[in-house]
Chain A
Amino acid sequence: MTPRGRLLAATAVASVPLLVYPLAVLVQGLPRFPGEGDCGPPPEEGRPVNVVFDRFDSPVEAEKERERVLAFGFVGTNVEPDDCGRWLVVLGNVPSVEVAREVAEEARSVDLDPALELDPDG
């Protein structure tokens, strides 16, 4: 075998498994990239709820927003890290989805736009 042929054959031996494995995986479907929605699971009836006012990359920005939210009277609002490395401005441990909806409604009346999520610590 010529040196060039040897090199081609060896390259094939090395690269075929390296290509076959990912292709075999991709045949089963494209890889999933969880989005921000996956950081906060949706609320469930009968379990405590988080009223999340916003998410931030920086704890400093989150703290500013918390002070703004507190100024509207949402006492107990905290800054907490989420599982995705961001910072939540959150009113946690709201006892039910119904109460959380009422809180969210009240917040919308002062131009806040909170989302309801399951409170994982509840």
Chain B
Amino acid sequence: MTLRAIAGLVALNAVFLASGAAILWLVRGWRTWAELARLGGLAYLVGVACTGTCLVLLLIAGAPLSAWLVLAVAGAFVLAAALGGRRLGRPRPTLGTVPETMNVFVTAVGIAFTGVFFEALFRATRLSGLYSWDAWAFWVPKAKAIYFYGGLDEQFFTTLPGAPYPPLVPVVDAAAFHFMGGPDVVTLRLQFWFLALGFTWFLAGVLCERVPAWILWPFVVLMLVAPRFGARFAVPEADFLLGFFFVAAAVLVYFWLQEPERWRLLIAGVALCGLVLTKREGVLLAVLLLLATLAASAPRRRQAWPALGVTAVVVAVVAVPWRIWYVVHGVPGEGPPSAFSIRENADRAWPSLRLALEVLFDSGYWSVIVPVAIGALVVASLARRWTPVLFFGVLIALVTLGGGWITWAIPDLPITQEFGGNPIVRYMGAAGLVSLAAAPLLLAEAWSRAAAPSAPDEAA
């Protein structure tokens, strides 16, 4: 609750941004400073994923967390990227040009609205208490345990609720405590404000590569005013970071499908590493994203599938150490008891799926995001843009089926949207966010087709 604590958080997030920007310079280079500014949100998420993943693996190996360790890990990324970038002959960024008039003014209005929203959210967040149940029951206590005891304290990490949940968020929280100078659970919410700001920056900065500003910014604003997003982004839980990594990976994979530059898949892999270490649902979401990508890349499977296979193996290797840690420490597994037994709980199958569908279409959570995304799927189908339709259509459907599967496969979960009884609403946030990212991309594809009607149809 002090200026020093806020300054510490600014420093920590600057470290994330710097490490991510260095990694992106290594894998793709920066042509202009404007490009660096545009992709700053992506750089930030990459920094959080890379640094967070390394810190989790180091803690599992027994290293004690400290501010110096965070600086050392991020510094190692910057140094390695700088040396590697020089070796690859990455040029220094130049000034670049100003985009066309309409885009630049719509973008300016969008930045103004979004910026004022985040300023207001900062004020509301700065002195808010730790009210949400999961946050004070285990997310923040785990972070405090890491802060006070230096590592994954066996007693805390095996007895608190959510014991098998991966520790990336508590590790980021504990790093925030070190940079703030103490376990200030009030100011900690600002760390989640930074994550939300970074994701919004990512969404606007990356999507504008393919989406005109007049299509893109209404969706950014829609996300900020949606009941389950926007004002709730600063709740110190893992649900939103899970969604951020998932959408980042999905958007990068989609761009890679459209334009197979290797760095996009590489960075999607980094986001997936963060995803599987953020929440146990991350493993499911990573598998679903892989399935949707396999389906959408089937026409060029000879080139695409081996690369996807390598990415999947790397993500699995990163996910395994945490699973070994909790098995070794006697924590019951994170998988549902009747995961693949179709006969068991057969009477729960339809009610579980219906629950997932009800949550998906509940405007009380995601406003009009999902109906608009489905409308965008239809419009893009009419424009014969099959790759985005197939990829996002399959992905949204799979995530929804995944939500139904979770409720069905865990018989202890009641068929309810109650937050305390069933995680379906938290989980379906990933479907809401990916629908939000998909809609402008689909509409932009349809618009580009309408603007150039002589363009050839895409092969399905």
Interface residues of A (CB under 8 A from B): 1, 3-4, 6-7, 9-11, 13-18, 21-22, 25, 31-35, 57-60, 83-86
The minimal Cβ–Cβ distance linking B153 to chain A, given in whole angstroms, is 12
Residue pair B104, A10 in contact (C-beta under 8 Å):
yes
User: Contacts A10-B108, A13-B109 hold; do A34 and B127 have CB atoms under 8 A apart?
Assistant: yes
Q: A10-B108, A33-B3, A35-B1 are in contact. List 18 more A-B contacts (CB 8 A).
A: A3-B97, A6-B101, A7-B104, A14-B115, A15-B112, A18-B115, A18-B116, A22-B119, A31-B126, A32-B127, A33-B1, A33-B2, A57-B183, A58-B148, A59-B148, A84-B1, A84-B184, A86-B183
In the bound complex, residues from chain B placing their C-beta under 8 Å from that of A18 are 111-112, 115-116, 119
Residue pair A21, B97 in contact (C-beta under 8 Å):
no
In the bound complex, residues from chain B placing their C-beta under 8 Å from that of A60 are 148
In the bound complex, residues from chain A placing their C-beta under 8 Å from that of B107 are 10, 14
Residue interface mask B102-125, A partner, CB < 8 A = 1 = 001101110111011001100100
Chain B at the A interface: SS class: helix
Residue pair A17, B115 in contact (C-beta under 8 Å):
yes
Residue interface mask B382-419, A partner, CB < 8 A = 1 = 00000000000000000000000000000000000000
User: Contacts A21-B120, A84-B1 hold; do A57 and B182 have CB atoms under 8 A apart?
Assistant: yes
The minimal Cβ–Cβ distance linking A45 to chain B, given in whole angstroms, is 27
Residue pair B115, A85 in contact (C-beta under 8 Å):
no
In the bound complex, residues from chain A placing their C-beta under 8 Å from that of B184 are 84-85
Interface residue tally on B, bucketed by range: 20 to 34
* A/B interface sample: 13 pairs, CB < 8 A: A3-B98, A10-B108, A14-B108, A14-B109, A14-B111, A15-B112, A16-B112, A17-B115, A18-B112, A33-B1, A58-B148, A59-B148, A86-B183
In the bound complex, residues from chain B placing their C-beta under 8 Å from that of A16 are 112
Residue pair B183, A85 in contact (C-beta under 8 Å):
yes
B185 at the interface (CB under 8 A from A): yes
Chain A at the B interface: SS class: helix
The minimal Cβ–Cβ distance linking A48 to chain B, given in whole angstroms, is 22
Residue pair A85, B112 in contact (C-beta under 8 Å):
no
B186 at the interface (CB under 8 A from A): yes
Q: How far is the CA of A3 from the CA of B107 in the complex (A)?
A: 15
Residue of B nearest to A4 (CB): B98
In the bound complex, residues from chain A placing their C-beta under 8 Å from that of B185 are 85
Q: How far is the CA of A64 from the CA of B11 in the complex (A)?
A: 33
Residue of B nearest to A10 (CB): B108
In the bound complex, residues from chain A placing their C-beta under 8 Å from that of B119 are 18, 21-22
The minimal Cβ–Cβ distance linking B44 to chain A, given in whole angstroms, is 19
Q: How far is the CA of A9 from the CA of B123 in the complex (A)?
A: 28
Q: How far is the CA of A43 from the CA of B109 in the complex (A)?
A: 51
The residue in A18, A22, A60 that gathers the most chain B C-beta atoms within 10 A of its C-beta is: A18
The minimal Cβ–Cβ distance linking B178 to chain A, given in whole angstroms, is 12
Q: How far is the CA of A25 from the CA of B112 in the complex (A)?
A: 17
Residue pair B123, A84 in contact (C-beta under 8 Å):
no
Q: How far is the CA of A3 from the CA of B104 in the complex (A)?
A: 10
Question: Which one of A3, A11, A34, A58 lies within 8 Å of B1 (CB-CB)?
Answer: A34
Q: How far is the CA of A84 from the CA of B122 in the complex (A)?
A: 19
Question: Which one of A6, A22, A57, A58 lies within 8 Å of B104 (CB-CB)?
Answer: A6
Q: How far is the CA of A85 from the CA of B184 in the complex (A)?
A: 5
Residue of B nearest to A22 (CB): B119
Q: How far is the CA of A9 from the CA of B104 in the complex (A)?
A: 9
Q: How far is the CA of A58 from the CA of B123 in the complex (A)?
A: 29
In the bound complex, residues from chain B placing their C-beta under 8 Å from that of A15 are 112
The minimal Cβ–Cβ distance linking A34 to chain B, given in whole angstroms, is 5
The minimal Cβ–Cβ distance linking A60 to chain B, given in whole angstroms, is 8
Q: Restricting to B1-59, which residues have a CB under 8 Å from any CB of A?
A: 1-3
Q: How far is the CA of A51 from the CA of B435 in the complex (A)?
A: 55
Q: How far is the CA of A66 from the CA of B361 in the complex (A)?
A: 55
Residue pair A17, B104 in contact (C-beta under 8 Å):
no
In the bound complex, residues from chain B placing their C-beta under 8 Å from that of A13 are 105, 108-109, 112
In the bound complex, residues from chain A placing their C-beta under 8 Å from that of B112 are 13-18
